[in-house]
Amino acid sequence: MRGMALSAFPTPDHDHDRCTADALAHAEALCEARAQRLTPIRRQVLAALLTSHRPLGAYEIIELTGQEGARPAPITIYRALDFLMENGLVHRIESRNAFIACIHNHSTADFVVFLICERCGAVGEVSSGAIGETLSNAARAAGFAPKAPVVEISGICAHCRGA
Amino acid sequence: MRGMALSAFPTPDHDHDRCTADALAHAEALCEARAQRLTPIRRQVLAALLTSHRPLGAYEIIELTGQEGARPAPITIYRALDFLMENGLVHRIESRNAFIACIHNHSTADFVVFLICERCGAVGEVSSGAIGETLSNAARAAGFAPKAPVVEISGICAHCRGA
DNA sequence: AAGTAATTGTTGCAATGCAACAAATCGCCC
DNA sequence: GGGCGATTTGTTGCATTGCAACAATTACTT
Ligand SMILES: [Zn+2]
Ligand SMILES: [Zn+2]
Ligand SMILES: [Zn+2]
Ligand SMILES: [Zn+2]
């Protein structure tokens, strides 16, 4: 499968409940397998991010998680996000200073392109080993030993363009 | 020349005085040609960014520009940065929330890959139409109408690896 | 000189992000 | 079960980012 582009821009009519449930189940299984603790807070933060396919800022997450009275401090959210990112369950969208739940079961090292719709705010992931390799080669050609390329493309998604 | 990778990771031994002078001269000429005003503040901000090839945060720029007594307010810096970015004289490094002067005379629409050295902090630009096209194609394959791709690669530069 | 547009100054604030330390909780071994 | 180190969470506080809104100034045009 390596090198094949795998597109996943969430369509408005997809089964999002299932989408959410799958992602949570995957997180559960992955943490179990790695002997990592998916604590209530971490799960709440992941669940908050899973409510949409838009990247959320720290304060938005605080509002979503702190529904019943006591709202968590920012640092609490950041710590949970750190954990989730280390385990590849959440991505950071650098150009937005925001975070999004990963709904793909790709490895942490996998190269990912984020497609960010300027209209509806939805973010899709396109994973392509070929692009990653091209970028790595370009970096190496400049005498550069690359780590993780960050690729974020702004634009208009198919659904928004159709409407 | 389109499609050919043009590498420009600044080497430690390059003639940086000339590098700076050229960039300022280019900025001058470009603003002249476009009937844009390269005011003292804007020039100071550009000059501050040109003192190194590392991306600088807003506060660092404030410190560098406000040497003689009165230091400009953050908003002043951001406004100057907006102007400089609109004219392609400065780039924003999204993954760092920082800004860097562009030392290439590429067009605003040109696709650019930033190489960010984790050791010395220097940032180089690699411009490649081929990569840009590949990315655009991948985006379009996902039904996405792409605007400006942001590509930032962390790693270790040749000089730091040698040392 | 008057009027308009562009630029800069001033004040204020929301949001990002995390350091440092205290308290609570968990996992494990005896 | 009780003790203990490791992990996680709570609390406080602050540096930084980023910009809105309005006033004052400067520059360009007629
Ligand atoms: Zn979904
Ligand atoms: Zn959209
Ligand atoms: Zn230089
Ligand atoms: Zn370096």
More confident position, A93 or A109: A93
Phi and psi at A44, nearest 5°, equal -60, -45
**Residue B115 pLDDT greater than 70, yes or no:** yes
| Whether B150 and A151 lie within 8 Å, measured CB to CB | yes
Q: What is the pTM of this model?
A: 0.91
> Is A79 inside any structural domain?
yes
Report B:134-163 residues touching A (Cβ under 8 A).
134-135, 138-139, 141-158, 161
> Tell me, what's the pLDDT at B66?
75
> Tell me, what's the pLDDT at B128?
81
Ligand 4 geometric centre to CA of B116 (Å)? 8
> Tell me, what's the pLDDT at A1?
45
CB of A33 within 8 Å of any CB in chain B?
no
Ligand 3 geometric centre to CA of B129 (Å)? 24
Contact, A76 CB vs strand D, < 7 Å: yes
| Whether A152 and B153 lie within 8 Å, measured CB to CB | no
Domains identified in chain A, total number: 1
> Tell me, what's the pLDDT at B107?
77
In this structure, what token pair is assigned to residue B157?
């530069």
> What's the rounded mean pLDDT across residues A35-46?
95
CB-CB contact of B116 with B155 (8 Å): yes
Chain D bases closer than 7 angstroms to a protein Cβ: 7-13, 15-21, 27-28
> Is A161 inside any structural domain?
no
> What's the rounded mean pLDDT across residues B121-140?
89
> Is B106 inside any structural domain?
no
| Model pLDDT for residues B60-100, shown as the tens digit of each residue | 999 999 766 678 999 999 999 999 999 999 999 999 999 99
Report how far residue B100's alpha carbon sits from residue B7's, in angstroms, rounded to the nearest whole number. 16
Give the distance, in angstroms, between residue B75 CA and nucleotide C7 C1'. 13
> Tell me, what's the pLDDT at B5?
52
> Tell me, what's the pLDDT at B61?
95
Q: Give the long-range contacts of residues B58-62, CB within 8 A, separation 24 or more.
A: B61/B99
> Is B154 inside any structural domain?
no
> Is A60 inside any structural domain?
yes
Residue B158: is it exposed, middle or buried by C-beta count within 10 angstroms (0-12/13-18/19+)? middle
> Is A96 inside any structural domain?
yes
Q: Which residue is nearest to nucleotide C12 (CA to C1')?
A: B75
Q: What percent of chain B has pLDDT over 70?
A: 94
Please write down the HEC assignment for all residues of B19-39.
Answer: HHHHHHHHHHHHHHHHCCCCC
| Whether A126 and B138 lie within 8 Å, measured CB to CB | yes
| Model pLDDT for residues A100-127, shown as the tens digit of each residue | 999 987 777 788 999 999 999 999 998 8
Report the CATH number that the domain containing residue B20 is assigned in CATH. 1.10.10.10
| Model pLDDT for residues B141-157, shown as the tens digit of each residue | 989 999 889 999 999 99
Burial A11-48 (b: 16+ CB within 10 A, else e): eeeeebeeebeebbeebeeebeeeeeebeeebbbbbbb
Domain extent at residue A30: 10-101
Give the distance, in angstroms, between residue A76 CA and nucleotide C23 C1'. 15
| Model pLDDT for residues A43-63, shown as the tens digit of each residue | 999 999 999 999 999 999 999
Q: Which amino acid is at B37?
A: R
**Residue B7: which pLDDT band, with cuts at 50, 70 and 90?**
low
More confident position, A69 or A75: A75
**Residue A163 pLDDT greater than 80, yes or no:** no
What mean pLDDT is reported for chain A? 90
| Model pLDDT for residues B22-38, shown as the tens digit of each residue | 999 999 999 999 999 99
Q: Which residue is nearest to nucleotide D27 (CA to C1')?
A: B37
More confident position, B56 or A4: B56
Residue whose entry in the numeric block shows the structure tokens 């949409």: A52
Report how far residue B8's alpha carbon sits from residue B158's, in angstroms, rounded to the nearest whole number. 12
Ligand 1 geometric centre to CA of A15 (Å)? 6
Contact, A41 CB vs strand D, < 7 Å: yes
> Tell me, what's the pLDDT at B3?
43
> Tell me, what's the pLDDT at B158?
92
Give the distance, in angstroms, between residue B66 CA and nucleotide C1 C1'. 36
What's the number of CA atoms in the CB half-sphere (13 Å) around residue B145? 9
**Residue B6: which pLDDT band, with cuts at 50, 70 and 90?**
low
> Tell me, what's the pLDDT at A131?
87
Q: What percent of chain A has pLDDT over 70?
A: 94
- Residue B32 to chain A, least CA–CA distance (Å): 31
> Tell me, what's the pLDDT at A9?
87
> Is B83 inside any structural domain?
yes
> Is B30 inside any structural domain?
yes
> Tell me, what's the pLDDT at A7?
61
